[in-house]
């Protein structure tokens, strides 16, 4: 029984999808004016892991994540680089796909773009105007926030708090609004900016309207899960709820999920482009195995912050290596013959079932990846002890299958390649087997290494090895 912490209710709730066995899931995607930074990547990885676990538990997941390709930031970069806004957006959409592929992110069911939904956005806004939830002012269109029931409840804010925060605002937009807390659905065209025709004049969509339109168009008026970073609780997701429920008269989202920030430095400052303290995923992937990056982002429960540091990456690499080494030793043992003991086999298979049950219990509790990985570490520890004895072939096959199965939920897969000290250990074992005249075992080790692309060279100075690529 999966439980999800719902940001709206501030408590864990049993997950009951709208359709049995199916999940309608929308996750806010990037504004494509630059490479995503590690903080953005954390959100992508967190919700990919959640999606993978839902699939593992038997759900069919319709996963939609958008590209914001109409935005002030994109226009600014376009002007700075003498490109069109469309060229900038296309460039960084492709970069996003390349980087997320390296991080082993499952492709979304659909990646809608704002420019593909302009007619639907205009129709959506017109309904809000007709229902008097929105009004036209100077070619802009604004939403009347105070007409929304429990506006800003998602972020734990009150109308009074918002009014205090808006009290000192100045500028042309404020003079057009009926109320300072109202927000833009449509922005009147400015010279040199992309625009589209509408009943209120040429212009372009506001930021918040796009996700409401794309979500309801592709997933229905009520969806199961809506996700994104904690910084989207207000105003973005708050405004999505207000405008969506004003239009449809129905509950917009059943479960709101928000991932924690990535922090940096001794003060644990939030990583962001605006603060200039970010590292792009694109840069890091060029320097570090992307599986290490992904694993680091998986070691903490999705709602909690993660500190990005060299030591964190080093620890993630060390833990991955331990798991990988165990899988390699399992493969090695499976390459040799072993005797089965029926009684012990049943006991060990039962132990594996307990590990799997413990993992599911951990992940069912709001996708607690940290506790789920603890189970994997305990499984690896048990396996390493088991490997020291004479393991059962069928048990080892199931151990291997379970490890691969659980690691896949975190987007981790290995192309097993023995590291040097492991090869030296096997050479030592082979030499000992030859001294003991156990030539079958010596041949097994030689054949196993050969299958890994490693050739043994017996010389007068001892046994050396050579990889196939050397």
Question: What are residue 299's phi and psi, to 5 degrees?
Answer: -80, -10
Q: What share of the chain is helix, strand, coil (3-state, %, to 5)?
A: 50, 15, 30
Q: What CATH number should be reported for the domain holding residue 392?
A: 1.10.730
Give 10-residue mean pLDDT values along the chain (470 residues).
97 98 97 93 96 95 96 95 95 93 92 97 98 96 93 87 68 81 95 94 95 97 97 95 97 97 73 69 91 91 91 93 91 72 81 97 97 97 88 88 94 71 77 83 76 81 74
Q: What is the pTM of this model?
A: 0.86
Contacts 24+ apart (CB under 8 A), 378-382: 379/352, 379/355, 379/403, 379/406, 380/322, 380/323, 380/326, 382/351, 382/355
Are 83 and 210 part of one and the same domain?
A: yes
Q: 106: which DSSP letter?
A: P
Q: What CATH number should be reported for the domain holding residue 174?
A: 3.40.50.620
Are 108 and 191 part of one and the same domain?
A: yes
Are 242 and 208 part of one and the same domain?
A: yes
Of 191, 189, 216, nearest in space to 201 by CA: 189
Are 289 and 249 part of one and the same domain?
A: yes
- Single out the residue in 409, 428, 458 at which a domain terminates: 409
Question: Considering the domain boundaries, does residue 241 fall inside one?
Answer: yes
- Single out the residue in 276, 298, 320 at which a domain terminates: 298
As a whole number of angstroms, the distance between CA 64 and CA 53 comes to 16
**Coil, helix or strand for 206?**
coil
Are 320 and 396 part of one and the same domain?
A: yes
Are 107 and 198 part of one and the same domain?
A: yes
Are 49 and 138 part of one and the same domain?
A: yes
Residue 168: predicted pLDDT: 55
Are 119 and 196 part of one and the same domain?
A: yes
Are 335 and 208 part of one and the same domain?
A: no
Structural domain including 430 reads 420-467
| Cβ pair 122, 199 in contact under 8 A | yes
Are 392 and 434 part of one and the same domain?
A: no
Rg (CA), the chain: 27
Residue 25: predicted pLDDT: 98
Are 339 and 206 part of one and the same domain?
A: no
Residue 25: strand pairing partners: 63, 225
Are 391 and 453 part of one and the same domain?
A: no
Following DSSP, what letter does each residue of 138-168 receive, concatenated?
A: TTEEEE-GGGSTTTTTTTT--HHHHHHHHTT
Question: Considering the domain boundaries, does residue 304 fall inside one?
Answer: no
Question: Considering the domain boundaries, does residue 267 fall inside one?
Answer: yes
Question: Considering the domain boundaries, does residue 455 fall inside one?
Answer: yes
- Single out the residue in 245, 279, 298 at which a domain terminates: 298
| Cβ pair 92, 34 in contact under 8 A | yes
Our count of domains for the chain comes to 3
As a whole number of angstroms, the distance between CA 152 and CA 154 comes to 5
Question: Considering the domain boundaries, does residue 414 fall inside one?
Answer: no
As a whole number of angstroms, the distance between CA 99 and CA 93 comes to 10
Of 68, 81, 76, 64, nearest in space to 36 by CA: 68
Question: What are residue 91's phi and psi, to 5 degrees?
Answer: -60, -45
Residue 451: predicted pLDDT: 67
């Amino acid at each position: 029984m999966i439980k999800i912490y719902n940001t709206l209710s501030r408590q864990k709730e049993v997950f009951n999808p709208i359709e049995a066995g199916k999940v309608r899931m929308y996750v806010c995607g990037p504004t494509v004016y630059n490479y995503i930074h590690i903080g953005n990547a954390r959100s992508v990885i967190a919700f990919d892991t959640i999606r993978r676990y839902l699939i593992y538990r038997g759900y069919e997941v319709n996963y939609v994540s958008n590209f914001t390709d109409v935005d002030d930031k994109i226009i600014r970069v376009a002007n700075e680089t003498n490109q069109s806004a469309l060229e900038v957006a296309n460039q960084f959409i492709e970069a996003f796909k390349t980087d997320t592929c390296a991080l082993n992110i499952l492709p979304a069911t659909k990646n809608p773009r704002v420019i593909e939904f302009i007619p639907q956005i205009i129709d959506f806004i017109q309904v809000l105007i007709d229902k008097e939830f929105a009004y036209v002012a100077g070619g802009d269109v604004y939403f009347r926030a105070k007409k929304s029931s429990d506006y800003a409840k998602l972020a734990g804010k009150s109308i009074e708090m918002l009014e205090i925060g808006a009290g000192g605002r100045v500028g042309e937009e404020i003079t057009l609004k009926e109320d300072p807390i109202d927000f833009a659905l449509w922005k009147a065209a400015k010279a040199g900016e992309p625009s589209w025709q509408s009943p209120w004049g040429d212009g372009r969509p506001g930021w918040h309207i796009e996700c409401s339109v794309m979500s309801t168009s592709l997933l229905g008026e009520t969806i199961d899960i809506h996700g994104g970073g904690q910084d989207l609780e207000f105003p973005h997701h708050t405004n999505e709820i207000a405008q969506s429920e004003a239009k449809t008269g129905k509950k917009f989202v059943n479960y709101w999920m928000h991932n924690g920030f990535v922090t940096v430095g001794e003060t644990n400052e939030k990583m962001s482009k605006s603060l200039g303290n970010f590292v792009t995923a694109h840069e890091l992937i060029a320097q570090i195995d992307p599986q290490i990056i992904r694993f680091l982002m998986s070691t903490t429960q999705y709602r909690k912050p993660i500190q990005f540091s060299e030591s964190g990456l080093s620890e993630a690499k060390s833990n991955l290596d331990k798991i990988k080494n165990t899988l390699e030793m399992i493969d090695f043992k499976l390459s040799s013959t072993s005797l089965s003991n029926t009684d012990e086999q049943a006991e060990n298979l039962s132990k594996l079932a307990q590990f799997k049950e413990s993992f599911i219990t951990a992940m069912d509790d709001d996708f607690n990846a940290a506790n789920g990985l603890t189970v994997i570490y305990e499984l690896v520890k048990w396996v390493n002890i088991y490997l020291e004895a004479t393991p059962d072939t069928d048990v080892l096959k199931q151990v291997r299958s379970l490890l691969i199965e659980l690691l896949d939920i975190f987007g981790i897969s290995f192309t097993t390649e023995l590291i040097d000290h492991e090869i030296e250990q096997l050479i030592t074992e082979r030499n000992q087997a030859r001294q003991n005249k156990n030539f079958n075992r010596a041949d097994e080790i030689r054949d196993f290494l050969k299958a890994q692309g490693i050739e043994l060279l017996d010389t007068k100075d001892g046994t050396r090895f050579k990889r196939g690529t050397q």
